[in-house]
Structures are given as C-alpha cells and as structure tokens.
A = this chain, B = another copy of it.
C-alpha cells in the first residue's frame, strides 16, 4: 500500500503538505492540491486509519454491544433489526460499526470499560441488558458515551431509546376490553426487564380505566420464552377457566400461549382472544394470525445511533427518545361470547 510518504515524494512536496492538501486545509495552493490529489489517485493511496486514529485519538467507530447474541434471537429478530438500523445510520453518519458480544462468562473476565477501550470504540449502543446486570452500574458510572436500548436510565454520558411500552400495552388491553372481555390474563416476561414492568403497568392502567379490578393471580411470567410461556399459560388457564382473553408481553410468548390453548382444546379465537407485543414476522404467519402491538426495532437502532453521535459530537440535544407503537388487529382477537 502506498503511504503518504510515497505521495509526497512523487509530488515533490513534504508529507505535511500532502496531509493538509488531502484534508482540505486552506494553506495549500490549489494547483498543488490538485496535483497531489491526482498523484494520490494514481498510487491509489488511502490513509492508514490506524495511524490516523492513533494520533488523532479518534476512531470514528461505534460499537454495538449485545449481551447474549445467540442464534435463538432469530425467532424474534430483535437484535438483527436493531443492528440493521444502527448499521444504516452509522454508515450514513460516517461511523464504522464493530460488533461486540458478551455473555455472562465473558463478563467475568472483562469489564465494560476494558471491552470498550480495547476495541477503541468512541461510544456504545447497548442491547439486551437486564436491570440486574452488573454492567449497568459500570455503564452509568463510566464516562464512555452509551445509549441503552430499552433501559430508561440517563447520566452525563448515557442516554436511552425505547418504545412506549406503557401506552402500547394499554392499547392492547383496551382493545380486549372493547371486545367485551373482562377476565383478562397477562403472560409477562420477567421482573428483571424494564419492558416487563412497563407493559404490566399499561395492563393495569387499561384495567383500571375500564373499572376492572386487577387480580395478581391473572399475571404469570413466561421468561420471554415460547416454551415457558406455553407451560405457565397452561397452568393459568386451568386454574382460571373464566379467563377469556390474554395479553402476552411478547409475540413469541403468544405463540406458546396459542399452543397451550389449542392443547387444552380451546377454539381460537372464539374461546380465547390473544394479543401479543412486538409484531415479529411469525405473528402474521401463525394460525390464528396474531393481533399485536408493533414496535419499530429498526427505528430503535437508528435513533440510538443518532443520539449516540450527538453525544460524541458534543451536540446539546435530548439524550433519550421514546418511540410510539402501533396496534395491529389480526385474527387472534374477537368479541367475548363468554
């Protein structure tokens, strides 16, 4: 590879001049600049970003740090779609993207800071972290710029982006109440997830607004897993056969719930209405197709990138963003003919 020195030599100028010419400084004659550009092209010179970063102390690189990047993620595609958004947006804004994945094992070895410093990222987008994750404290107390996905916490250097889970859940449950359902169960994720707390809150709000008393026995946790959701739903429906509708905190768990209901001989949606959350691909292909509240995961990635680069470039702007949801009616919900 041609270096800046080669270009300088061939052009008969100093290294300094080549650097300043190529970087658009004004203290170089336009004619020499053109000549240098020409020669740079001939030698197909392109600056060594390592050397540049080393001296400038800037890498123009952001990291997408995902905790638990696993093949299982392909069922809901959350990570992938966020990744697409981050990737597109980062490219647009002139940043490179490196993928950093950790798991609990790796986290024992390396601290968050080490991970970031080592990979020389200027800032980080963090996805898949739980509320009880030890990294979370580190993130909040670190000076590294960071945007959290679905964890609403802020500090000087950290912001977040999330979906309006409360409103989304409320809409979903009110859809059920409008259909005449009164005994509405909920299959939640787990208590270490902010989104679970919020979706539960939305559920309660919708009940309250419609004069339905909250019954804690109607709420079970499915760990955001299809199989677990299937089991807990089976239990729930057996214990409380009066339930005519279910709100699931994720579409994937709704799949499990559907299987559970079918297993119990229920006719869907006549015996049981089910609404999910996420609008994953599966939800429009399963039978019955799933009414759900859609969240835009791609946009989540885009907004996270925008917020992060704002911080990095010292722009004074909001450090958080909450995206709206959209309710999608499909076949899995219908009037209560109790």
Contact = CB atoms under 8 A, between A and B. Distances in A.
Contacts of A97: 98-99
A51 interface: yes
Interface string A278-311: 0001100111000000000010000000000000
A119 B52 CA distance: 12
A39 interface: no
Contacts of A287: 287
Contacts of A113: 44
Contacts of A59: 50
B96 A84 contact: no
Interface string A34-76: 0000000000101011110110000100000000011101110
Interface string A295-330: 000100000000000000000000000000000000
- Output the residue of A59, A74, A114 with the most chain B CB within 10 A: A74
Interface string A91-128: 10000111101000000000001100111100000000
Contact of A118 (B46, B54, B74, B120): B46
Contacts of A117: 1, 46
Nearest to A70: B84
Contact of A74 (B1, B77, B96): B77
Copies in the complex: 2
Contacts of A79: 80
Q: Which are the 10 A-B pairs with shortest beta-carbon distances?
A: A80-B80, A74-B77, A287-B287, A50-B54, A71-B84, A285-B286, A98-B98, A71-B298, A50-B50, A50-B53
Contact of A120 (B49, B69, B101): B49
Contacts of A87: 69, 99, 101
Nearest to A61: B98
A255 interface: yes
A207 to B, nearest CB: 31
Contact of A81 (B71, B85, B101, B298): B71
Interface string A235-274: 0000000000000000000010000000000000000000
